[in-house]
Amino acid sequence: MTDKEIVEFLKNYTGPDVSLMEICGSHTAAIVKSGIRFFLSPHIRMVSGPGCPVCVTVTAYIDRLIALSEDPQNVICSFGDLLRVPGSRGTLEQAKAGGSNIRMLYSPLDMLELAEKDSLHNFIFAAVGFETTAPVYAALLENAIERGIRNIKILTSLKTMPEVVKCIGGRMDGYLLPGHVCTVTGYAVYEPLAAEMGIPMVAAGFDGRNIVQALYALLKLRGRGIVRNFYPSVVTREGNKKALMAMDNFFEAGDAAWRGLGIIENSGLFLRGEYERFDAGSRDLTEDRENTLCHCSKVITGEENSRDCPLFGKSCTPSDPKGACMVSREGACFNEYIK
Ligand code: SF4
């Protein structure tokens, strides 16, 4: 089929109503940017899933970072998005305004130099992300060990994708697998899951053409537990062995709390016992006390659309977010707001 024919098919689809989830926040942003949502048939519902790291971070994690930042001995380092995510006591941005030593960094590796120059402080990186970023934290620790830097730690909220897909399971008719994550893990890890659930899954890249082809494939494969790779330029069946080995060396699986989804068995990555000295206390961060009016938990599971939230576009906007899904450029509410 030509690209034009595929687009026409997606526009005029009149089969049974389907819900397709793009798990990854980068796909959410790409789908909005390329205008795909505007022409899809009303019988195709796109759901933005839990693959935006800050959107699934529980309030206990933010609260712990704020508590750590109150110790003058500590310097908290983080990616920019996380600074605006509300915990139950406010945001890291507010803590910084109140005098806490909080730095925004573009890469965890930048923390090495800061820690090396300032041995009087402990540097703690807010390690959020999925299988894509976990190897970077492994590289940070590897470098710290090699260079003898002792004053760094990480607070992990690292999560893994297959477990959350399993948790959402049959609520969707198909999954657009996260391209970046699959670059690291490979797509074979989804094969048993797809077969067990009888739901198709397609690994896709981030340009509009690749995404529409993947959506078309999901519709054609509906009801069949098959995985396809539409991103072969970077995704392989087995993934990146070097990155997987680095991850496996430092991290082990454990139960983790997801905003809106609760605790999912073995869906988190925590430092192994031999590297415990680098852990800033990541294991017991399960409480999630989001603003009671915020519907993020329903949005990321497809139960509701962002516009169903009473705060959407009123008191909650990208410049003044009340929930995590409005903070990140990969968040469902942010992308619904700007579309
Ligand atoms: Fe939460 Fe804001 Fe989205 Fe409502 S619009 S669900 S408050 S992030």
pLDDT tens per residue, range 8-67:
999 999 999 999 999 998 999 999 999 998 899 999 999 998 888 988 999 999 999 999
Residue showing tokens 């402990």: 122
Cβ of 294 below 6 Å from ligand 1: yes
Q: Give 287's pLDDT tier (boundaries 50, 70, 90).
A: confident
What CA–CA distance (Å, rounded) separates 216 from 8?
10
Residue nearest to atom 8 of ligand 1 (CA): 323
Per-residue tokens: 311: 């705060």
Tell which wins on pLDDT, 18 or 294: 18
Atom of ligand 1 nearest to the CA of 321: 2
User: Parallel, antiparallel, or unpaired: how do β-strands 152-159 and 122-129 relate?
Assistant: parallel
Predicted confidence at residue 292, as pLDDT, reads 78
88-138: per-residue pLDDT in tens?
Answer: 989 999 999 999 999 999 999 999 999 999 999 999 999 999 999 999 999
Q: Is 333 in the pocket of ligand 1 (CB under 6 A)?
A: yes
Tell whether the model's pLDDT for residue 260 goes beyond 80. no
* Percentage of residues in the chain having pLDDT higher than 70: 100
| Residue of 306, 308, 338 with the most ligand 1 atoms within 8 Å of its CB, for mutation | 306
Counting other chains too, the contacts that 234-238 makes at CB distance below 8 Å and 24 or more residues apart are 234/179, 234/183, 234/205, 235/179, 235/182, 235/183, 235/186, 235/187, 235/203, 236/186, 236/187, 237/186, 237/187, 237/188, 238/186, 238/188
Kindly tell me the burial class for residue 17, based on how many C-beta atoms sit within 10 Å of its own C-beta (0-12, 13-18, 19 or more).
Answer: exposed
Assess whether the C-beta atom of 141 lies below 6 angstroms from ligand 1. no
Residue 14 phi, psi dihedral angles, 5° rounding = -125, 15
Average pLDDT, the chain: 94
- Residue-range domains of the chain with CATH: 3-52+162-229 (3.40.50.11750)
Give yes or no for residue 323 CB within 6 A of ligand 1. Answer: yes
CA of 208 to the centre of ligand 1 (A): 26
Q: pLDDT value at position 328?
A: 84
- Nearest CA owner, ligand 1 atom 5: 312
Mean pLDDT, to the nearest integer, of 235-257? 97
pLDDT of residue 10: 97
| Predicted pLDDT at 31 | 93
CA 318 centroid distance within chain: 18
- Which of 248-252, 284-288, 312-316 shows the lowest per-residue confidence on average (mean pLDDT)? 284-288
Tell me, what's the pLDDT at 91? 95
- Residue 293's pLDDT band, with cuts at 50, 70 and 90, is confident
Ligand 1 near 311 CB (within 6 A): yes
CA-closest residue to ligand 1 atom 3: 333
Q: 87: Cβ below 6 Å to ligand 1?
A: no
Q: Is 221's C-beta closer than 6 angstroms to any atom of ligand 1?
A: no
pLDDT at 77 over 90: yes
pLDDT at 257: 94
Residue 236 has pLDDT above 80, yes or no: yes
Checking phi first, is residue 302 left (phi over 0); if not, alpha (psi -120 to 50) or beta?
A: left
Beta partners for residue 122, in sequence order: 74
Whether 257 and 290 have beta carbons less than 8 Å apart is answered as no
